A and B are shown apart, each in its own frame.
Chain A
């Protein structure tokens, strides 16, 4: 009965309208090369201030789901992935478009994304409450171990582990700016009042992910998109093609859901693994890469399954599953909500609202995706100069509207330049962002634990849960080295592979 009453607000016209607009906006953002779902969510968080938590958060989830799906549009029509999540879709999507079957490729991408999204949403609604009830037993040492494990996401988010780790440490150091959460002592504020509560989180995110992208776009403005497939007709795959794609669809959805739950992996990894698995288990692996519909089904079902699944660690443990959910965490915090197991106790309406909103956003994604297929090539022709300068204005209004002060605007510009520089030199903006979020959680739990136990470090490694998380942390840190060594020995054994 309670669950039904919590779901009722979702069906108000204004809530449905907001989710629909979020999904549509995300779809357009994701479709444009260079604009990512992360950027979309960061840029549009400020729009949620005046909304109820359920309305605002579901709009952001709509942007996330629409954004990840939208990435397939430019992968298929332009051979340029709209988002990193849809990079693998290029392999079969673009050849299909070249054969005059762009509509069919987009249709299959839409169906696959919907199935993947819905399967993961079911897992989200069933698994998250169970995980949260376990996490309710956690004390300071367990939360410290959990935050530490969450921070190891950094290793997997970064191509260069060393630079990723530096980005993470700098993120934690930046999160120390402002009043110390335990003693209230000021740290690194230089006497500026605006820094007393640290760098405002949303302007920092907008700078890192949206403004930095503007600088990257500035470099690319001379590049012309001459290879757009302009003619798109048809949208429904045949029954035979659907039959051929069924196993790729189901497998992709399961792979995406599983990968989404594990913090730090993300949609890009899921779609590549799903594509490789589909090819490996196919009776006709030689068809993959030549414009084969199951190839599109495999990648798109996996990357959209990640969206709902990545919400599981965020809602149940307070640890973001990937970069977009890290930014979404900012949206939750702006609404005055602390993600984690207590959210299920204090705001069950919001949690159930998010579960329901994920389903609704996925259905809107299907409707908009199918309806807009003939118009997608026009979306890709949006004039870049006007788009770039408009994003700048949105970055400013978004950053200003939080605290109505100038310091936030300068913070946003500063983080924008920092983000561009980090991207250019191979450092990880995602690692910095996650460290900014998890840093305070790690610090306060570590110090609180030490104060409670009289500086007894043994307490942090004596419980079964802390030991589990520390074990996972070590495994997570060692994994890139282990897989690298395995790849090396494989290559030595078989140099032709």
Chain B
């Protein structure tokens, strides 16, 4: 585990939120007003939210700035580089699973995800590798399709 300064991360996040607000504002400009002749148009609430978020993001940045002279620095524990790489690989695995789920089908996509996922999680016992994904994939398929009438590809 490593740590990062909460104050610094708040400043970065505040900056990121301001950029997000600017992009959202630009997108909101292109929302059509429709036939409504009132302030209560489709973009009214988005504008209030964007404005509110921008103000609060600025407050977060100023708060972090003001805390610079503070006594003790609060920290956030972050995973070490190895764990971060594993987490990133896990996210990529999930995106791949999401993309493969429908076109390839539940059983092959899930089997591969089980194998790779267990490996990323540090499982190295071959019996678990072979038996657990096979049993779980089939049991879940049977449970959902036969008992709960949920269609799976």
Residues on A close to B: CB < 8 A?
Answer: 46-47, 49-50, 162-163, 165-166, 169-170, 172-173, 176, 180, 182-188, 211, 215, 218-219, 221, 385-386, 388-390, 392-394, 396-397, 400-401, 404-406, 409-410, 412-413, 416-417, 424-426, 439, 442-443, 446-448, 450-451, 454-455
A49–B150 CB distance below 8 A: yes
27 A/B residue pairs, CB under 8 Å, sorted by A:
A46-B150, A49-B150, A50-B149, A166-B60, A169-B52, A182-B36, A182-B40, A185-B31, A218-B87, A219-B87, A389-B113, A389-B118, A392-B113, A392-B117, A396-B97, A405-B102, A409-B98, A409-B101, A410-B95, A413-B91, A413-B94, A416-B94, A417-B91, A424-B78, A447-B44, A448-B40, A455-B40
Partner of B53, one of A50, A166, A409: A166
Tell me whether A424 and B101 are in contact in the complex, defined as CB-CB below 8 angstroms, given that A47-B148, A392-B117 are known contacts: no
- The chain A residue sitting closest to B116, CB to CB, is A389
Q: How far is the CA of A374 from the CA of B49 in the complex (A)?
A: 52
- Interface pairs A-B: 3 shortest CB-CB: A183-B34, A409-B98, A180-B42
Residues of B within 8 Å of A424, CB to CB, are 76, 78
Q: How far is the CA of A409 from the CA of B121 in the complex (A)?
A: 21
Binding site for A on B (CB under 8 A): 6, 9-10, 13, 17, 24, 27, 31-36, 38-46, 49-50, 52-53, 56-57, 59-60, 63, 76, 78-79, 83, 86-87, 90-91, 94-95, 97-99, 101-102, 106, 110, 113-114, 117-118, 121-123, 128, 132, 136-137, 140, 144, 148-152
Q: Which A residues lie within 8 Å of B40 (CB)?
A: 182, 446-448, 450-451, 455
Q: B9, B17, B24: which contacts A166 (Cβ < 8 A)?
A: B17
Query: How distant is B62 from chain A, measured CB to nearest CB, in Å?
Result: 10
Q: Decide yes or no: A173 and B24 within 8 Å by CB, A396-B98, A424-B78 being known contacts.
A: yes
CA distance A188 to B31 in the complex (A): 8
**Contacts A166-B60, A409-B98 given: A176-B49 contact, CB under 8 Å?**
yes
Asked if residues A451 and B53 are in contact (CB atoms below 8 Å), the reply is no
The answer to whether A413 touches B52, judged by C-beta atoms less than 8 angstroms apart, is no
In the bound assembly, the distance between CA atoms of A368 and B113 in angstroms comes to 34
**Which residues in B have their C-beta under 8 angstroms from that of A439?**
45
B27 CB contacts on chain A under 8 angstroms: 188
In the complex, the answer to whether B114 meets A393 with C-beta atoms within 8 Å is yes
CA distance A170 to B79 in the complex (A): 26
Q: Which of the residues B35, B56, B99 comes within 8 Å of A406, measured between beta carbons? A: B99
Chain B residue with the shortest CB-CB distance to A47: B148
User: Which B residues lie within 8 Å of A455 (CB)?
Assistant: 38-40
Most buried by B among A182, A184, A396: A396
B90 touches A397 (CB 8 A): no
Residues of B within 8 A of A165 (CB): 52, 56
The complex places the Cα of A329 from the Cα of B62 at a distance, in Å, of 37
B106 vs chain A, min Cβ distance (A): 8
Pairwise interchain contact A218-B140, C-beta atoms closer than 8 A: no
In the complex, what residues of B have CB within 8 A of residue A47's CB?
148
Whether the pair A400, B35 counts as a contact (CB closer than 8 A) is no
Contacts of B10 in A (CB 8 A): 425
CB-CB nearest in chain A for B21: A173
- Nearest CB of chain B from residue A258's CB, rounded to whole Å: 32
Contact between chains at B90 and A393 (CB < 8 Å): no
Chain A neighbourhood of B56, CB < 8 A: 162, 165-166, 169
Q: Which chain B residue has the least Cβ–Cβ distance from A163?
A: B60
Most buried by A among B36, B56, B76, B123: B56
Residues in A with CB closer than 8 Å to B52 are: 165, 169
* B98 pairs with A413, CB closer than 8 A: yes
B57 x A385 contact (CB < 8 A): no
